[in-house]
Each structure stands twice: as structure tokens, then as C-alpha cells.
Structure 1
């Protein structure tokens, strides 16, 4: 992921082995990471049990919030692919009890279809 993409809020895919090392104390026994995406220092990770949002805070990023969302809490989601003039794709996830979706931008060549398939696998 380029620095400019990060500043623009675009997400890029992260290596699963790297995520496993970073989240080894967060994941439960037998929980498997399916895919993960990063925006600057923050990331969101799809496991076989939940969606984990990782929010690194402060100047150093040593303070980290891990937000776990069980797939059963996701009421619906949408994926918008990039077009000729629109340079990014977008993912929106709605949670039960919340009116506003969680939104993430992906650069044009990101695997947004894979994200949709991962969500569909665990939500539907």
C-alpha cells in the first residue's frame, strides 16, 4: 500500500501470517484468519468467527483498541466497485442496533469481490 493511498483512506490486503503474529493474543483457540485489510495503521480482519477492527491510537500507536463484531450482529452489507471515474471501491457494514454503517474504502485494484465473498460466507 502506498502512503498516498493510506492518506486517501484506501485499504489494501495484509499478509495473513503477519496478522496472525500481531493478533496472537486476541484470537481464541482454533480461530482462523480468513483475510485482512489495512488503512494506514488501522486494520480490519475477517476470521472464521468474527470481524476484528484494530484501531491503533496516539502518536506511537502503542495504545490499541480491538473491536470484535460477531457475524450474527451484521444485519446487511454493501459493496460498491470502482468505475471509470470513481477511483475506489467501498464496503459498508450495518450492525444490529446501529443506524450508521461501518465504511471502508478500497483502492481500485483491491480485491473487493473477495471481501464480499468472505462476508457472504459468514453472514448469510
Structure 2
């Protein structure tokens, strides 16, 4: 059990076993998966070393982008909750002194946004 999962318990939508299968060839054997969330077709996975975002592209979802951000590269992050007219929660992760976010993810509700914010805060701060 990693540091983040120790804080949050077994939070997440997908199990470590399922996440590890989806990360075959990407994740190191020594890396521990702390949290894993499914976002429609995409995944955001927090390990003990980095954040991995899996982005399925195209109609079939066969083309896949694996975006890996080591925690030491994250300079700041922004969490936006849902509102009355804006029904999507949003997470933006910035690296170094970049003005634009390296990663922007949208969630259909606030259900996991606070767990993700806590995981990022724990890993980055």
C-alpha cells in the first residue's frame, strides 16, 4: 500500500490489478499504483512516482496516448468544481513555469475530484 492510498483508503474506480493490466509495458514493476480513476474512456493513475494519464483517441479508441508526469515536475494544479450551469468538474496540472496546463481533465461530477486533489497535494507538496 502506497502513501496516497494509506491516506485515502481504497478510493478509486478501478482496481490496482486492472490498472496494472492497462499499463502493461508502461509501468515499472517496482512502481506502486495508489489511485486509479476511469474518465469515460480515459484513465488517470497515480503511482508512488508519477501521474499517468491514458487518453483513448478516435472512434474505436485503438490509438492511445500515455502521458506521464513525475511529481517533481508538477509546479501547480487547479481544481474546479461543478456549478449550477457548468456541470463538469475540471482538473488542470501545470509543469515548471508553463502558462498553459500540461494536462486538463474533465469529470462529469465532483465525486472524485477532491480525492484527486488530495492525492496531488500529498504527492507534490
Bucket of the pairwise TM-score, normalised by the shorter protein: 0.7 to 0.9
Map 1:77-116 to 2 at 5 A.
77-101=77-101, 102-116=103-117
User: With structure 2 as the length reference, what TM-score do the two structures score?
Assistant: 0.75
Q: 1:70 to 1:104 in 2, by over 3 A?
A: same
Work out the number of aligned pairs and report it: 112
Q: Which has the higher strand share?
A: 1
Residue 97 of structure 1 and its aligned partner are, at CA, apart by 4.9
Unaligned 5+ segments in structure 2 are 1-11
The answer for the alignment partner of 1:15 in structure 2 is: 14
User: With structure 1 as the length reference, what TM-score do the two structures score?
Assistant: 0.76
The answer for the alignment partner of 1:118 in structure 2 is: 119
Residue 48 of structure 1 and its aligned partner are, at CA, apart by 1.1
Q: 1:87 to 1:60 in 2, by over 3 A?
A: closer
Contact 2:13 2:37 in 1 (8 A): yes
Q: Deviations over 1:5-61 (max 9, x none)?
A: xxxxxxxx5312311221132111221112223333222211111011212334433
Q: Which has the higher contact order (CA 8 A, sep 6+)?
A: 1
Residue 68 of structure 1 and its aligned partner are, at CA, apart by 1.1
SS where residue 19 of structure 1 aligns?
A: helix
